[in-house]
Amino acid sequence: MLPLLCICREIRKIAVHTHRKSGLPALYQLASTFSGAPAGLADADTIFALSSGHGKCGVAVVRISGPASSMALRCMAGLRRHLPSPRTALLRSITDPSSKEILDRGLVLWFPGPHSFTGEDSVEFHIHGGPAVITAVLQALGSMPGMRPAEAGEFTRRAFQAGKLGLTEVEGLGDLIHAETEAQRRQALRQMSGDLQRLYQDWSHRLKRCLAHVEAFIDFSEDELIEDGVLERVDSSVVSLQAEIERHLKDERRGERLRSGVHVVIAGATNAGKSSLLNTLCQRPAAIVSSIAGTTRDVVETVLDIGGFPVLLSDTAGLRDSTDLIEQEGVRRARERVQQADLTLVVVDSVLLPCEVQKAADILQENLTSVLPDLKQTNKDRCLLVLNKTDLLPEAHRRELERELNEVSGLPPVCLLSCQTHEGLQDFLSVFHSRLKILCGDPLSGAPTLTQARHRAHLQQCVVALAQYQKLRDTDLALAADGVRLALTSLGRITGKLGAEEILDIIFKDFCIGK
């Protein structure tokens, strides 16, 4: 059974999330939100909202759902006689139902229930994206009887109630609405179409069978007929499930990273040009740059889209021993950031490198160790070396470094770059992009990845619970079965579907039981 408070939390989260970003004009937000009271009016209400993003855009989508949808369509699109054929776009003048004033000209679509997103009759108006047009259309809708602005997340909630979406799909939808980059959008789409849902449901189905078989063995085996080998089959199922879930968990947080952004930290000695790199990447003077060592004292953050991947870029104070208390704190914060980073860009002033390649490599290694003391061969792909200020190098020296340094074994990829002239920027970006791709995984290939920390926590519980089964299977089957139950509950918390009666149904389907 799904714990109530837990679902409450999840659904509230979705609602709040959607609410925060829902781009209704201020007027409608006031009208629709009554001091956070979550329950809306009865289902008989027809709701409407601007479904596309807020702000300047070419086309805006206004969505209407509920029994009065067809009436709204008739009145506002001048379709007195016939409704348009379902799910077909039709170009119409959109008018105010009382004043008959033409508000805009746009596409209208008719989705009769139950074959709509919410399962109810629905209508979409695709209108021009100017705020004046949007406000006028929303006001016109609000003036009709039985219509009210939707609450935050209400379309999704209605879809969930109509059984159109599972919990993971609802979450995927929230992400889709907020997908800020192309790769995020692709992953959200995958989750929406239920890839993850299908994966979890397959596990859940197999676990249910395991549980049903253990339960049958407990409740029926002794004086009633249960075939031999039931428990052995459960054993092997549990082992393979555990392995699969563990593999899924070992995706190195790729999905989550894609959802919440890759944490990239710029670090290195003072005056190497770390803040210049930040400014170059975000194409604006986000950090103060000067030739004085120790200019940056605190962490400067900015959000970037690098080839479709979300990046949370932090510039940090240069690492050096300082007597300045504030700078000491800055260095401590810098080290903390580096520890938490998914990817570290170690910036080195190329002017300081000697001409001889091997000596240069040694100095780079020293730099690396000072920034990342725990760097091991295995996590070399967690950092990139950026050699800055190449515009100050003699051309021959630059070419030699570029040619030779990437041959030296034991070093992470080396990029030569001038933040001043942007020479080498394209090459750096392509190396950077390929790193991000590895870190996030390609959202359209391979097994679906984990997108939510919540899923991860439940799956980890699931693995622990399956281990409990294996540990106790021979000493106390009741306790072992509890492990399988717990595993199933943990999965059920992700997919939001679990029923106790189902277990008995499987038992009776699989076994001939009777005294």
Partner 1 sequence: MKLHPVQTLVSRCIGHLSRQRYDVIVVGGGHAGTEAAAAAARMGAETLLVTQKIQTIGALSCNPSLGGVGKGHLVREVDALDGLCGRAGDWAGIHFSILNRRKGPAVWGPRAQLDRQRYREFIQGELLSIKRLTVLEGSVEDLLVTEPNPDEPGSHRVTGICLENVLHPISASSVVLTTGTFLSGSLFVGQTTSPGGRIGDAPSSAGLSRTLKETLGLRVGRLRTGTPPRIVKESVDFSLANVHLPDRHPTPFSFMNTHTRCKPEEQLPCHLTYTTPGVERVVQESLHLNCHIQQDTKGPRYCPSIESRVLRFPGRRHLVWLEPEGLTSDLLYPQGLSMTMPPEVQLRLIREIPALRRAEIHAPGYGVQYDFVCPTQLSSALQVKSTQGLFLAGQINGTTGYEEAAAQGLWAGVNAARQAHSMPPVSLSRTESYIGVLIDDLVSRGVTEPYRMFTSRAEFRTTLRPDNADLRLTPKGYELGCVSSSRYQEATRVQNSLQEAMTALQALTLSTNSCREKLPDIRVSETKSTVLTGMELLQYKELSFEMLASVFPERLSPYLEFSQRLKIEAVYKPHCDINKKEIERIQREENMFLPPDIDYFSLPVSLSNEAREILDRVRPTTLGAATRLEGITPAAVVNLYNYVHFAKKKGVNGQQKMTRSK
Task: Provide, rounded to whole angstroms, the least separation between the CB of residue 122 and partner 1.
Answer: 16
- 3-state SS record for 455-507: HHHHHHHHHHHHHHHHHHCCCCHHHHHHHHHHHHHHHHHHHCCCCHHHHHHHH
Task: Provide, rounded to whole angstroms, the least separation between the CB of residue 42 and partner 1.
Answer: 6
Stretch that binds partner 1, among 82-90, 221-229, 332-340, 362-370 (CB under 8 A): 221-229
Identify the residue whose tokens are 């989260």. 13
Task: Provide, rounded to whole angstroms, the least separation between the CB of residue 159 and partner 1.
Answer: 10
Residue (25 or 38) nearer to partner 1, CB: 38
Residue 238: how many other CB atoms lie within 10 Å: 24
Site string for partner 1, 22-51 (x = CB under 8 A): ---------------xxxxxxx--------
The CA distance from 265 to 335, in Å, is 10
Site string for partner 1, 164-193 (x = CB under 8 A): ---x--------------------------
What burial class does residue 367 get, using C-beta atoms within 10 Å of its C-beta: 0-12 exposed, 13-18 middle, 19+ buried? Answer: buried
What burial class does residue 177 get, using C-beta atoms within 10 Å of its C-beta: 0-12 exposed, 13-18 middle, 19+ buried? Answer: middle
Task: Provide, rounded to whole angstroms, the least separation between the CB of residue 476 and partner 1.
Answer: 4
Residue (98 or 161) nearer to partner 1, CB: 161
Between the alpha carbon of residue 209 and those of residues 145, 289, 451, 484, 492, the distances in Å are 51, 63, 27, 10, 14
Among residues 55, 58, 85, 222, the one that binds partner 1 under rule CB under 8 A = 222
Task: Provide, rounded to whole angstroms, the least separation between the CB of residue 463 and partner 1.
Answer: 16
Among residues 101, 182, 224, 427, the one that binds partner 1 under rule CB under 8 A = 224
* 235 touches partner 1 (CB under 8 A): no
Residue (11 or 393) nearer to partner 1, CB: 11
Between the alpha carbon of residue 96 and those of residues 32, 141, 146, 226, the distances in Å are 21, 8, 16, 70
Q: What is the DSSP string of 280-318?
A: HHHTS--S---SSTT---S-EEEEEEETTEEEEEEE---
**Continuous segment of H or E residues that includes residue 47:** strand 46-50
* 325 touches partner 1 (CB under 8 A): no
Stretch that binds partner 1, among 152-160, 235-243, 368-376, 412-420 (CB under 8 A): 152-160
CB contact at 8 A, 268 and 294: no
* 225 touches partner 1 (CB under 8 A): yes
Q: How many residues bind partner 1 (CB under 8 A)?
A: 51
Stretch that binds partner 1, among 268-276, 290-298, 341-349, 496-504 (CB under 8 A): 496-504
The CA distance from 165 to 496, in Å, is 10
Could you tell me if residue 423 is left (phi over 0), alpha (psi between -120 and 50 degrees) or otherwise beta?
beta
Task: Provide, rounded to whole angstroms, the least separation between the CB of residue 505 and partner 1.
Answer: 9
The CA distance from 137 to 29, in Å, is 15
Binders in 356-415 for partner 1, by CB under 8 A? none
- The first and second tokens of residue 193, run together, are 């179409």
Task: Provide, rounded to whole angstroms, the least separation between the CB of residue 39 and partner 1.
Answer: 5
Stretch that binds partner 1, among 57-65, 216-224, 276-284, 454-462 (CB under 8 A): 216-224
Stretch that binds partner 1, among 344-352, 361-369, 432-440, 495-503 (CB under 8 A): 495-503
Task: Provide, rounded to whole angstroms, the least separation between the CB of residue 158 and partner 1.
Answer: 8
Q: Which of 199, 173, 198 is closest to 187 using CA atoms?
A: 173
Running DSSP on this structure, what letter comes out for residue 84?
Answer: P
* 223 touches partner 1 (CB under 8 A): yes
- The first and second tokens of residue 347, run together, are 């910036």
Stretch that binds partner 1, among 124-132, 161-169, 260-268, 357-365 (CB under 8 A): 161-169
Among residues 101, 182, 202, 219, the one that binds partner 1 under rule CB under 8 A = 219
Stretch that binds partner 1, among 52-60, 211-219, 297-305, 360-368 (CB under 8 A): 211-219
Question: Taking each helix axis from N to C terminus, what angle separates 195-220 and 230-249, rounded to the nearest 10 degrees?
Answer: 150
- The first and second tokens of residue 243, run together, are 């392995």
- The first and second tokens of residue 79, run together, are 């379709």
Binders in 437-476 for partner 1, by CB under 8 A? 475-476
* 157 touches partner 1 (CB under 8 A): yes
Task: Provide, rounded to whole angstroms, the least separation between the CB of residue 479 and partner 1.
Answer: 6
Between the alpha carbon of residue 210 and those of residues 215, 224, 296, 301, 503, the distances in Å are 9, 19, 58, 49, 9
The footprint of partner 1 (CB under 8 A) covers 1-5, 7-8, 11, 37-43, 154, 157-158, 160-163, 167, 215, 217-220, 222-225, 475-479, 481-482, 496, 499-501, 503-504, 507-508, 512-515
